[in-house]
Amino acid sequence: MSITCFIRYQIDPFQRAAFAEYAEKWSTIIPRCGGDLVGYFTPCEGTNDIGWGLISCESLAAYEAYRARLRADADARGNFLFSSDRRFIVREERTFLENIDATLHRPAAKVMRK
C-alpha cells in the first residue's frame, strides 16, 4: 500500500504567483528524487491563502529516502531558499494518508448530453 503526503500551506495571498513558481519548480525535482508528484494546487475561489501539495511514495520508508535525496539535491535546496527568501509560505502542515488504490486517478465518464 502506498502513502500520500498531503501538505497544506498557508501562503501570503499577495504572493500566490510566487507560490505557483515554487510549485512549478518541484515538477521536475520531486520525480527526479523519487517522489510521485500528484500535484500542487493554489487558491482559485473562496479562501485565498491556502495551497496544497500531494506527493506519493510506496511506503513511509520510501518517503524518508526521498526526503534524504531531496535534502541533497542542489535544485531542491535552491527552491527551499527561494521560499524562505521571499517568505510567501507562512505555515506548512504535513499529513500522511494511506491510498485506497482503486480510487486513485479515476477520470470522469463521458456524459451524453440531451
Q: Is domain 3-98 in CATH 3.30.70.100, yes or no?
A: yes
Task: Note the pTM of the prediction, 2 decimals.
Answer: 0.86
Q: Are 56 and 36 in contact (CB under 8 A)?
A: yes
- Helix (H/G/I), strand (E/B), else coil: 57: strand
Cell, residue 35: 517522489
Please state, as a whole number, how many other Cβ atoms lie within 10 Å of the Cβ of residue 17.
Answer: 10
pLDDT along the chain (114 residues), means of 10: 92 95 97 96 90 95 96 98 97 94 83 78
- Helix (H/G/I), strand (E/B), else coil: 74: helix
- Helix (H/G/I), strand (E/B), else coil: 35: coil
Provide the terminal-to-terminal Cα distance of the chain, rounded to the nearest Å.
Answer: 41
C-alpha to C-alpha distance for 46 and 110, rounded to whole angstroms? 29
Q: Residue 13: its pLDDT value, please?
A: 94
What pairs with residue 56 in β-bridges?
4, 36
Domain boundaries, the chain: 3-98
